[in-house]
Structure 1
Amino acid sequence: MCRWLAYAGSPVLLDDILYKPAHSVIDQSLHAKMGVETTNGDGFGIGWYEPGSGRAAPAVVRDTGPAWNNRNLREIAGHVRSPLFFAHVRASTGTAVQQSNCHPFRRGRWMWMHNGAVKDFDRLRREMCLAVDPALFASIEGSTDSEVMFYLALTFGLDQDVPGAVARMAGFVEGLGRDHGIENPLQMTIAVADGRQLWAFRYSSRGRSRSLFYSNRVDSVRTLHPNLALMRELSDDTRMVVSEPVGDLPGVWNEMPEATYTVVPSQDGDYAPFTPVPA
């Protein structure tokens, strides 16, 4: 499995989020506490939108080596400031360690990353790929279930309705799994962004999903920890979603319940129910 972090809010230097906090996502690449594997060294990736870029395509940097000792990643993090970015450290579930299999994945303005697996993907892969819109299929570069899930979501209308498209993707995978006699075929925490908003999903067929947490409102964290300098720079609607908590401060993190999703920024509360829809 993997560890990931998604940030949306006031522009911030990537280094302030990726490296400086205790138990940062870079530290988690070597010392994860809540993942299936302690070490997530099968590649990494970051993707970010430039301030004011709206829905322009994000920049993406991916590599097959571990994140914890990559000098280029450290250099980028110290110079890039972004209002919306992803970071992912990979532990392969069986597919090759190659750049095209590292997250996040990108098409146009969309960015996507995943932790989890499609059970028995080797048995389902052909039919999953055949369900991808032919106009999109040639853009699939790697061999992971995660990338095919992304292109299925694009096929099922990600441009028009993000939660609906992800629900149809999940419903399609579960239906295909049942047709092949595969029990509990889907395990996923997913982050997806379009340059203006971030959506994060937690779901599994078994109802025992991989860990996922979202941060409290900045004004609440600021009240709890008034000496935390970074909090003075951030807008109240700034949020992070992470595979496991970053930092060591109490009152910052909330676990997302099973079968829910969240969107940042949003006026509709912290999370909403997520239910797969047969596609």
Structure 2
Amino acid sequence: MFNKITLGPITIYMYGLMIAIGFASALFLCNYRGKKRGLSEDTIFGIFLCALIGGMVGCRLLYYIVELPAIMEDPSILWDFKNGYVVYGGIIGGIVTSYVYCRIKKENFISYFDLVMPAVSMAQGFGRIGCFCAGCCYGRETHAWYGITFTHSNFAPNGVSLIPTQLISSAGDFLICGVLLWYASKNPKPGRVAAGYLVLYGVGRFLIEFLRNDYRGSIGIFSTSQIISFGIVALGIVLYFVIPKISEKK
């Protein structure tokens, strides 16, 4: 797997490139769909900017929470910014900051919440391709035909055939995006597209965790991400029924 492209004195890392492609594609998709729904392009851009900042902070904060015992023993972990980012923290941080932004702008958060989440799933699909190129978020050892062997990864064990969990996750994220876009075209009640994302992503993440082999922390037999998945799916189910009722009352 190649993790970078070198053009003379310029080096482009595939992980960062895929993140950038995902962000740009998601923003384009939201603007395209937002215009059809009469939503503000400026608000969409503001949400993306806030979600980017909130997501980065959330990724790091959740990592600190998960790794608190290790940090107590070695505080230098706090300053190691090369590693230590938890996707769920990014999702939570991005949603919270977007909500605050919409409240400040006096915009209807639910309308933008439904608009943005399919695009978020698409961005995650590109991000997981970046993970594949870098070798992070790798899977368990396998001797099956679909196994992937890394040779120059700084994360995955090199020379060992592994389950390509990054590509499986990527395919799942793109599939979720497609399902949500289809569901959105049916004009469901407010909040249900976003709630659908939480349920689908939570279930998918819970299942893929059984195939991963990188360290992610654990509580009993479940990884930390699987424990969070329980909460995310439960929240999605609750929001699926609650948000439409709140919107009807308003």
- Do both share a fold (TM > 0.5)? no
- TM score, norm. by length of structure 1: 0.32
Which has more helix, going by share of residues? 2
Bigger relative contact order, structure 1 or 2 (CA pairs below 8 A, ≥6 apart): 1
- TM-score under structure 2 length normalisation: 0.34
